[in-house]
């Protein structure tokens, strides 16, 4: 079933970046390891607002040390997206563009915290509850994030199934129409 999943360009890019620096297994997805591989400094502070600041030489991600490990990981991946993919200061952007960047950071978070190329290696239970439990445990993320990723994976698989059915329908319709056109030509 997972073979029907289709990755986005962002997912493929994250996979390539991870493989390039040797991030290949769920155990490699620790904040300290990712930060080291991508040259990011982490500042843990109680009740710190989630934030990333960067320039050409330095990237610093601020994480609330009072959050759970899984929540900290999710904050880290969300904030990591901004220096890797975005330009400029969000305070100087239109609200629409800021929302777009936040949406992209949420997508990045899902793909980086739960990379499909790693998920695909596991024997995944079919039912959603089992999938969520497995991903939560193996990837050390919150159940909410695991559930969002599972739903997204299922939607993509369903879309592939629909696309295949539609293509098959179009092929059959083409054959039917060609058959009608040929018989019409010979009858007239």
Give the residue from 43, 21, 34 showing the smallest Cα distance to 81.
34
Q: CA 110, CA 146: separation in Å to the nearest integer?
A: 8
Per-residue pLDDT of the chain (188 residues; tens, 9 = 90+): 788 999 999 999 999 999 999 999 999 999 999 999 999 999 999 999 999 998 888 999 999 999 999 999 999 999 999 999 977 666 676 788 889 888 999 999 999 999 999 999 998 888 999 999 999 999 999 999 999 999 999 999 999 999 999 988 888 888 877 766 666 555 65
Please answer whether residues 45 and 65 qualify as being in contact, where contact means their C-beta atoms are separated by less than 8 angstroms: yes
Tokens at residue 144, please? 């909410």
Half-sphere exposure of 154 (CA within 13 A, CB side): 14
pTM beyond cutoff 0.95: no
Tokens at residue 102, please? 């936040």
Q: CA 188, CA 179: separation in Å to the nearest integer?
A: 14
Q: Strand 51-54 relative to strand 40-45: parallel, antiparallel, unpaired? A: unpaired
Q: CA 115, CA 102: separation in Å to the nearest integer?
A: 19
């Amino acid at each position: 079933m997972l073979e029907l999943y289709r990755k986005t360009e962002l997912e493929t890019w994250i996979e390539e970046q991870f493989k390039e620096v040797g991030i290949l297994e769920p155990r490699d997805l620790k904040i300290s390891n990712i930060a080291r591989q991508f040259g990011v400094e982490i500042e843990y502070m109680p009740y710190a607002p989630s934030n990333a600041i960067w320039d050409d030489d330095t990237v610093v991600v601020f994480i609330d040390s009072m959050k759970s490990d899984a929540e900290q990981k999710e904050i880290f991946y969300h904030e990591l997206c901004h220096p890797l993919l975005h330009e400029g200061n969000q305070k100087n952007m239109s609200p629409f563009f800021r929302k777009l960047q936040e949406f992209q950071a949420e997508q990045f978070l899902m793909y980086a915290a739960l990379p499909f190329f790693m998920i695909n290696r596991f024997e995944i239970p079919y039912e959603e509850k089992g999938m969520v439990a497995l991903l939560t445990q193996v990837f050390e993320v919150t159940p909410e994030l695991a559930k969002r990723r599972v739903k997204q994976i299922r939607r993509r698989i369903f879309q592939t199934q629909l696309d295949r059915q539609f293509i098959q329908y179009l092929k059959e319709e083409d054959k039917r129409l060609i058959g009608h056109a040929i018989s019409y030509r010979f009858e007239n």
